[in-house]
């Protein structure tokens, strides 16, 4: 059975769920947040140590201002109401991506990271304003600036995911098969599962089913 240390998730399908069920995309984001809370619990139950969630990409800025505002308000409320609870559960929150939001959200994110920094039960990496291409370009720039040689070790240390092991498993919900500029370097040897259900409909049972399938895969890492 494969060990499972790190799960990464592209939480796709909120907008479609919202339109279908409540005639409003944003209702899907709200429902999606309930799934986030549920999936955190199941991740802990499975004793998985890292969970990386793609919440907002560098490309998502193209969306209507109203939707972006709704998403960030949702995140603000979540942090204000839930960070104590996450801390009590010994969850560490880490933001990957550039924190260039409103000063209120930037400080909330920084405070939340600081408050939970010592926690060891589960590390949640929340990808916000994250894009893999920008991350890689920035890392190469750092190598050049510091006149270092280009190798895996040096590159990895300048990535947003420094000190985080690569994901073992990537799940994308929402019936779409693409990576959307997410962890392109880090997913080099991850097992990938595309799930038909929209993120708000993704259940504990669906998650456990994927975990069990993953555990029984023969992972070769290029060997035979
Ligand atoms: C993708 O679905 C989802 C997002 C861009 C946002 C993810 C946000 C959440 C799950 C809720 C908020 C989370 C936190 C941590 C506050 P989409 O909108 O692209 O769906 P579509 O493909 O149906 O349009």
Which entry of 5, 46, 60, 119 is annotated as an active-site residue? 60
Q: Which of 200, 202, 195 is nearest to 169 (CA)?
A: 195
CA of 14 to the centre of ligand 1 (A): 5
Residue 224 domain flag: no
Whether residue 27 is contained in a domain is answered as: yes
In a domain, 161, yes or no: no
1 in any annotated domain? no
Nearest protein Cα to ligand 1, atom 11: 33
Report yes or no: 166 and 4 within 8 Å, Cβ to Cβ. Answer: no
Q: What is the pLDDT, as a whole number, of residue 84? A: 98
In a domain, 147, yes or no: no
Q: How confident is the model over 191-198, as a mean pLDDT?
A: 98
Predicted TM-score (pTM) above 0.85:
yes
* Six token digits for residue 220: 């070769």
| Mutation probe of ligand 1 site: the residue of 8, 10, 12 with most atoms within 8 A of C-beta | 12
What's the domain range around 117? 6-130+166-215
pLDDT digits (tens, 9 = 90+) for 49-86: 999 999 999 999 999 999 999 999 999 999 999 999 99
Q: How many CA atoms lie within 13 A of 54 on its CB side?
A: 27
Of 8, 14, 127, best ligand 1 pocket probe by most atoms within 8 Å of the beta carbon:
14
Mutate to test the pocket of ligand 1, among 19, 32, 70, 113 (most ligand atoms within 8 A of CB): 32
What tens digit of pLDDT does each residue of 104-139 get? Answer: 999 999 999 999 999 999 999 999 999 999 999 999
- To the query of whether residue 12 is one of the catalytic residues in this protein, the response is yes
Distance 32 CA to ligand 1 centre (A): 7
Q: Is residue 223 part of a domain?
A: no
Residue closest via CA to ligand 1's atom 13 equals 33
Q: What pLDDT was estimated at residue 28? A: 98
Is 201 catalytic? The answer is no
Average pLDDT, the chain: 98
Query: Is there a contact between 199 and 174 (Cβ–Cβ < 8 Å)?
Result: yes
- Within a domain: 160: no
Residue 100 lies in a domain: yes
- Total tally of structural domains belonging to the chain: 1
**Residue with CA at minimum distance from ligand 1 atom 1:** 12
Q: What average pLDDT does this structure show over 151-177?
A: 98
Among protein residues, the one with the nearest Cα to ligand 1's atom 22 is: 13
DSSP 90-147: TEEEEEES---S-HHHHHHHHHHHHHTTT--SEEEEEEEEE-HHHHHHHHHHHHHHTT
Q: What CATH number is associated with residue 171?
A: 3.40.1180.10
Which residues, judged by CB distance below 6 Å to any ligand atom, belong to the binding site of ligand 1?
11-16, 29, 32-33, 36, 55-56, 60, 71, 74-75, 78, 126, 174, 199
């Amino acid at each position: 059975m494969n060990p499972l240390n790190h799960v990464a998730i592209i939480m796709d399908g909120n907008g479609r769920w919202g339109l279908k069920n409540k005639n409003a995309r944003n209702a899907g984001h709200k429902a999606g947040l309930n799934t986030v809370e549920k999936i955190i619990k199941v991740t802990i139950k499975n004793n998985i140590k890292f969970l990386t969630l793609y919440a907002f990409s560098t490309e998502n800025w193209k969306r209507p201002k109203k939707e972006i505002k709704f998403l960030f308000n949702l995140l603000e409320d979540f942090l204000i109401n839930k960070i104590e609870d996450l801390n009590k559960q010994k969850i560490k929150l880490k933001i990957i991506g550039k924190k260039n939001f409103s000063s209120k959200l930037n400080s909330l994110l920084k405070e939340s990271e600081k408050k939970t920094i010592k926690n060891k039960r589960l590390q949640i990496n929340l990808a916000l304003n994250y894009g893999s291409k920008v991350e890689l370009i920035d890392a190469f720039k750092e190598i050049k600036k510091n006149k270092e040689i280009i190798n895996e070790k040096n590159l990895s240390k300048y990535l947003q995911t420094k000190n985080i092991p690569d994901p073992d498993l990537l799940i994308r919900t929402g019936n779409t098969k693409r990576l959307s500029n997410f962890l392109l370097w880090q997913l080099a040897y991850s097992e990938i599962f595309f799930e038909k259900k929209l993120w708000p409909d993704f259940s504990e049972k669906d998650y456990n089913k994927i975990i069990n399938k993953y555990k029984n895969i023969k992972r070769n890492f290029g060997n035979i």
